[in-house]
Structure 1
Amino acid sequence: MFRKIFLSLAILSVAVVIEAQNLQLHFDPRHSFYGDEVAPVNYLTATFEMFKPDRWGNTFMFVDFDFSFDKRNPGLVYAEIAREFKIGDFPLFPHIEYNGG
């Protein structure tokens, strides 16, 4: 019984806090699957994501780093950032977005 109550409170507290940061590391096996014509080596991709709401709207961004360059240094960096604006009780959020790398 105590575990069910604790688990319910934990889920509720996580649902209330909507701010989030996320760091991921992925393995990209393109070389193993397709050979040298597609990618000279297998490499890792690191992704950082962030979502932050506030009283004027919210901000979402992420950055990808592909470690496919010489000696596994970052060979490609790609980023996106989006800002949504809250306008009263209007159900749609207009936003500004930038994508680049």
Structure 2
Amino acid sequence: MSLRAFFRQLGRDLVTQKLRTFLTVFGITWGTVAVSLLLAFGLGLQRAQTRSMAGLGDRIVIAWPSRTSRPWKGVDRGRRILMRDEDIVFLERSVPGIAAISPEI
């Protein structure tokens, strides 16, 4: 089959099967638009969160209880780290340059 015959047959099929052609084109268009919108929403949300976090300040440190990631002096990794009120007072006294400290739950 030559290239010319192929395109002639393609044109004939598109004209005779209008509903099938329309639904195929509509499905491809709908899918492309949906994926594009989801990507745009995700990127916009990411940028908004980045701006929101930047609005907190550039000289801020946030610490929360977690688990250790490495073993230390015979204690296994994965040990829970809990912050107590005494830790806040200790940090305020021992770390120079802390202008304010605010424990929150």
TM-score (norm 2): 0.31
Greater radius of gyration (CA)? 2
- 1 or 2, which has the higher strand percentage? 1
TM-score (norm 1): 0.32
